[in-house]
Structure 1
């Protein structure tokens, strides 16, 4: 009886120590590849208003200002930028 108990304990411990083979690695980016706005080249890497990294999280709205293309995470951030663009560009 002791041998059976020992074998069961060893089997349980051994099965708990197995490493998962099919573990999905967490991605460092969350850009939606199907969004065509994420394929464009922008003159900024950080959203001017909310400071979000658009190279990592993607773009949902854009604007042209003085011949340059700027990307933003949302329409709200774009509208805030357009209210005082020179002020935001001076901080860049």
Structure 2
């Protein structure tokens, strides 16, 4: 009886810790952040006023740098899931 309780406890522990592992995966968090930012920028590009485009260009540059950093990272296993590079606005910024 005691062995059975210990065995069931071990099984439950493995299931609980095994399921939580995917949520703490830093690659998944990075993908979620990059995809969220990419979606926000893509939606914002349609309706953004001219005066805010320079500021948005700097955000896009930062996004593209982060994306490139993860593309060359040997530890990042989900490269095909990274969002596409975002094109900058074709404007002159001060």
Name the TM-score, length of structure 1 as normaliser. 0.34
Q: Which has the larger radius of gyration?
A: 1
Name the TM-score, length of structure 2 as normaliser. 0.34
Whose helix fraction is larger, Structure 1's or Structure 2's? 2
Whose strand fraction is larger, Structure 1's or Structure 2's? 1
Higher RCO (Cα < 8 Å, 6 or more apart): 2
